[in-house]
Structures are given as C-alpha cells and as structure tokens.
Amino acid sequence: MKWLIQLLLLLLFLVSCEPQGPTADIIIHNAEIHTLRPEGQTYSAIAIKGDRILGLGTEESILKFVDAGTNMIDARGNFLMPGLIEGHGHFLGFGRSLMELDLLEVGSWAETIALVSDEVAKAEPGRWITGRGWHQDKWTDVTPVDGSPYPDHLDLSVISPDNPVILIHASGHSLIANERAMKEAGITRDTPDPDGGTIRRDEEGNPIGVFEETAMYPIREAFWSQGGRGTEEEERARIREAALIAQEEAFRHGITSFQDAGLSMQEIGVLRTMANDGELDIRLWIMLLENYESMRVSVKQLPIVGEADNRFTVAALKAFNDGALGSYGALLIEPYSDKPEESGQLVTPEEELRSIAALARDHQLQYCVHAIGDLANKMMLDIYEETFEDKDQLREARWRIEHAQHLRPEDINRFAEFGIIAAMQTIHCASDAAFVVTRLGEKRAEEGAYMWRSLIDAGVLVTNGTDVPVERINPFTGLYAAVSRKLPGQEMAFYPEQSMTREEALRSYTINNAIAAFEEDLKGSLEEGKLADLILLDRNLLTCEKSDIPNTKVLMTMVGGKIVYED
Ligand SMILES: [Zn+2]
C-alpha cells in the first residue's frame, strides 16, 4: 500500500511539472501596453490564443503561457493598445472614394476644372466622371453667383460637353453637375425644388448646377442607372472591390472595427457574403439605411449579430434629420448668421422619423439619426423621449445621435438623462472651425458647437470617428483634434476649453465605440477573454509631444490574433 501511495505522489508531481493551463499561439512582449481598462494598469506582454486574449502580464509572468509552438513577437518597446474603432464612417463610400477623383485638398475652382479636364481626356464619350471632397470655403478664386457662394456649371460644361460630371461636396450634402449630367437627369429650369432640397439658380431661374440635399437624388439616380450600376453582377463586383480597398486602408491606419453609418440591404448582402466567405478580416457594425417603406420589410431579417466570428453585425437603423453646416443644410432654431433668410433643411419628414423610431423600438434595434443643427438635435431628443414610455427602456436601448454637432445648452443634460450616445467626429470641429463662427455667430459657436467636454462632464458617452470619406480616415489627426481642437500645424484652436484629455480621446476611439454598439464584452479594451484586436504604434499617445500625435505610424495591426497589416 505504502509504495502505491508513493507512486501516486510521484505521478502527481510529474503531472504538475507539465504546463498547467492553456498555452499561447502568440506572445507579444517588450511592449508598452495601454489596456484602456479603468484601473489603468500597465503591462509589457500579452498572450493570445486563437482569436482571444489569454492573458496580460510582465515578461516573467507571461512565461507560463509559452510552449514550443508559441510565436514570440518582440515589440521593441513600442506602444500597444486596443485596435481603433471607426465610430461613424461610410465603408463602401470610402472604398468608392478611393476609386474616384479626390478633391479634398484642392484649393481653387480653377484647379478643380483642370483635374476634371485631365479625366475627360482619358474618358470615353458618355462615361460619367465623378469626384468628391470639394469645399467652396477652401477655394481662393470662386466668383459667387447670385449671392450664393458657388461656381456656375458653365466652366465644367465647356470642358466636358460629352461626359456627364458630378462632383460631390466634402460634406456629402450637395453636388455640382455639368450640363450633360443635368440633361441625363432630366433637370430643366422648370424642375421645381423637391421637399427637403434646393436647386441653386441664377437670377433668371436657371439651375447653376448646384444641387443640395434631396435635390441631388435625380442626378444620382441618372448616374446609377447609366454609369454606376450596370448589371447586378457588375454592381456586386464593384461593391466587393470598394470593400477590399476600404479594408486595406483601414488596417493601414490601425482601424480594426468599422461602424458604417448607413447601407442598403443589397450592399449589406454583398458584405455579409464576403464576411462569411472569409474575405473580410475587418469587423463591421452596420446601420441599415433605406426609406421607411423598405425598412419595414428589411427589419424582418434583423438583427444580424456577430456573424462570421464576430465580424458582421447589423442591428441599427439610420435616418437623416438634416444636412450639413457648410452647405447651409443644418437645421437651426435661429437663421444662419451669414444668410438670414435660411435656417437649414429637414430632409426626412418628422412623421417618418417617428415611424422609424417605433420600428427600431419594436424590433429591439438601435436608432441612429444624423442631426447637426440645434433644432435637429432638439427634435430627435423629443422623438426619442416620446418613443419610450419607460425611460429606463430608452436608456437600455443605447440610441445614438450621429454628429450631435450644434446643441442648445439646455439639451446637453437631456443626452445624459436619457442615456443618448453622442456619436461625434472630433476632426469635423478642427476642419470646420474656419466657417463655424461665420455661419452661427460667436455666441452659438461658443455655447453650442462640438461640446464634447461639456457632454462628457454631464455623463454622456461621446464616441469618435471621421465620417470618412467626408474626412480622411486617419484616426491620429482625429485624436489630435480631440485634445487640441486644431488641425495639425494650425495656430488657432477652436474654443480649446472643450478639449478632451488624452485618456478620454483614446476611450472615444475604442471602448466608447464598443459600448455604443453593445460590443464592450468583446472589444474596446485589452483584457483576458476579449478579442485579440490590437495595434502597435511608434509612439506613446499618452506621453509623446501633443503636436506629434498626428504623425503617429502604425507598425502592426492585428484582428482576432491575425496580423493584417505590418509596416
Ligand atoms: Zn456620415
């Protein structure tokens, strides 16, 4: 009996010398790890198994996860943090924008014409030429037509008589078309302004080629039916191409999850197939955007949650309340300071906004409404409040207001009271600063524009993103804008007292976006059991010179334990 017990003890001893728990596929060590967890502990090593984080620790404590098959990655002292989450962008729009003429940095109308002219020279007659990103306030040379700050289509029509041209405004809320494009869309001087849109005209009533908000639809439809769409097969191929380009650019910038602010069921279908076929590594969280009648049918297929190993979710409905500030589309309580006869556009009838709210509530979907102006924000807070009798249910629904850009001071607390998420884009503040005071006057700009400090202090969840392709996708200029209220290299800050701290800025790009999508158990911070979505950067975003933040380089991007980008 005695020797048997001794043998058992010996066996137990031998077994206990074997590794105890699971072993890691990958260990990244020698890193400065910022977990984004509330306790803020720092680590130097992280162990990964499959698509999950196995553990975090010191160089010594992580050794227990090592076996012969573990891939050891030396981070060389670089900064490691959770993968960034683009909180409001247009995934396919971004991909498509990389396939068309880029006008974001063009400083004059003359230069715009020259760029289009180059495209015309290359294009077959009849082919549509599309560009995106112009902004009249960035141009040095435009001669206003009939008081409006826009150019006339004539310059475009002269250089491109046979090719329809459409150039989308940086905000996405207006476009310039040449004569050929207007002809294809059936626009004449007799075409009336549609509800929620304006056809800009000269003194004689002739369209000058600028179409705002819903007035853009006939032109876009002509484009889609002739140039854009093609056969169903061609359209699917185009969506696929746009998605792959967008994904690659996202990874280059450290974006591991992307919240898309509005796709149709057709686009969702193509992306869903790609995700399930393993063609997409990026994690998509998508808002459905259709008119109310189509949505009523489409919601029967929703929600889609965490398909393709947590890569594909559609669990929110998107709608637009108003337009953008730059193109005088933002819906304001008082008129524009630089255009006293206008106070913006309601682009969806209030009744429809209410009906979609009820649809979202009844199908347990999030509701995400674009609201820029102070009246748009007030109206949406009213509608959200009226949709739920039980205010706890409203809080639990995590409904969002996209942009939440200009607010009445008294509405800030209403966001907090109802748990409404302010889905903001800090980069918009920096790049719009030049015209915000002109449009709104100083009082409204100071008390109500891009109020993220006041919102955070009131207890509101503020998320961050770029609205790409409205802005470039680079999250580091967005993080810099969050902490400085400036563009890189700019002297003047836009009401800097509204800045975030660096920690808050990082949260706005990670864990806050995860919470705003009900995904905080999966991502947004580095902890055991969460997805191994992380990035390695060439500088510590908490300690580097503030002015150096925009120059940050991504050294590695990892999604679910797989390296998807390496510098
Ligand atoms: Zn958007």
What is the whole-number distance in angstroms between the Cα of residue 289 and the centre of ligand 1?
11
How far apart, in whole angstroms, are the C-alpha atoms of residue 28 and residue 44? 8
Residue 559 lies in a domain: yes
Residue 101 lies in a domain: no
| Whether 427 and 503 share a structural domain | yes
Is 167 a member of any domain? yes
Which sign does the torsion angle of CA 549, 523, 253, 405 carry? negative
Two tokens at 323?
A: 């337009």
400 CA from centroid of ligand 1 (Å): 13
- The Å distance, Cα 467 to ligand 1 centre, comes to 5
Q: What is the DSSP string of 160-195?
A: -SSS-EEEEETTSSEEEE-HHHHHHTT--TTPPPPT
Cα 95 to ligand 1 centre (Å) = 14
Cα 294 to Cα 315: distance, rounded to the nearest angstrom: 16
Residues 243 and 206 in one domain: no
The Å distance, Cα 536 to ligand 1 centre, comes to 28
Of 228, 258, 292, the residue that ends a domain is: 228
Do 70 and 131 fall within a single domain?
A: no
**Cα of 456 from ligand 1 centre, angstroms:** 22
User: 244 alpha carbon to ligand 1 midpoint, in Å?
Assistant: 20
pLDDT of res. 512 = 98
The rounded Å distance from CA 146 to ligand 1 centre is 30
What local confidence, expressed as pLDDT, does residue 60 receive? 94
How many CA atoms lie within 13 Å of 339's alpha carbon, on the beta-carbon side?
17
**Token representation of residue 314:** 């559609």
Alpha carbon of 181 to those of 149, 205, 221: distances in Å? 21, 18, 11
| pLDDT lower than 50: segments of the chain | 1, 9, 12-17
For residue 231, how far is its CA from the centre of ligand 1 (angstroms)?
27
**CATH number of 541's domain:** 3.20.20.140
Residue 54's pLDDT is 97
- Residue 234: per-residue pLDDT: 77
CA of 403 to the centre of ligand 1 (A): 8
pLDDT digits (tens, 9 = 90+) for 421-468: 999 999 999 999 889 999 999 999 999 999 999 999 999 999 999 999
> 437 C-alpha vs ligand 1 centroid, how far in Å?
22
Separation between Cα atoms, residue 422 and residue 452, nearest integer Å: 9
Residue 509: φ, ψ to 5°:
-105, 0
71 with 167, same domain: the answer is no
Whether residues 217 and 261 fall in one domain: no
CA of 91 to the centre of ligand 1 (A): 10
Q: 426 C-alpha to center of ligand 1: Å?
A: 13
Question: What's the CATH number where 131 sits?
Answer: 3.10.310.70
179 and 196 share one domain = yes
Same domain, 217 and 135: yes
Tell me the CA–centroid distance for residue 89 and ligand 1, in Å: 6
| CA 71 to each of CA 46, 66, 144, 251: distance values in angstroms, whole numbers, following the listed order | 12, 9, 62, 22
Sheet with 52-57: strands ordered across: 52-57, 45-49, 26-29, 71-74
Same domain, 204 and 237: no
Q: Where are the beta strands (DSSP E) in 506-561?
A: 534-537, 554-559
Q: Classify residue 70: in a domain, yes or no.
A: yes
Q: Ligand 1 centroid to 295 CA: how many Å?
A: 19
Please give the distance, rounded to the nearest whole angstrom, from the Cα atom of residue 322 to the centre of ligand 1. 12
Instruction: Give me the CATH number covering residue 66.
Output: 2.30.40.10
Other CB atoms closer than 10 Å to residue 146's CB: what's the count?
Answer: 12
Identify whether residues 180 and 310 lie together within a single domain. Answer: no
**Tokens for 207?**
């369209």
Calpha distance 411→374 (Å, rounded): 9
Q: 369: which 2 tokens?
A: 């409404």
In a domain, 215, yes or no: yes
Question: Structurally, how many domains does the chain consist of?
Answer: 3
Q: How many residues does the chain have?
A: 567
Q: Is residue 103 part of a domain?
A: no
Question: Would residue 301 count as lying in a domain?
Answer: yes
Q: Is residue 96 part of a domain?
A: no
Boundary (domain end) residue, out of 184, 213, 228 = 228
Examine the fold and report which residue of 228, 247, 273 is the final residue of a domain before the chain moves on: 228
Q: What 3-state class would DSSP assign to 321?
A: coil
Ligand 1 centroid vs 81 CA: distance in angstroms?
Answer: 26
Domain residue limits at 43? 2-77
Q: Report the SS3 class of residue 423.
A: strand
* pLDDT the model gives residue 17: 47
Ligand 1 geometric centre to CA of 304 (Å): 21
Residue 68 CB partners (closer than 8 Å, separation 6+): none
Whether the Cβ atoms of residue 375 and residue 344 lie closer than 8 Å to each other? yes
Same domain, residue pair 267 and 343: yes
Residues 197 and 261 in one domain: no
Whether 443 and 555 map to the same domain: the answer is yes
Non-local (6+) Cβ contacts of 16 within 8 A are none
How confident is the model at residue 105, as a pLDDT?
87
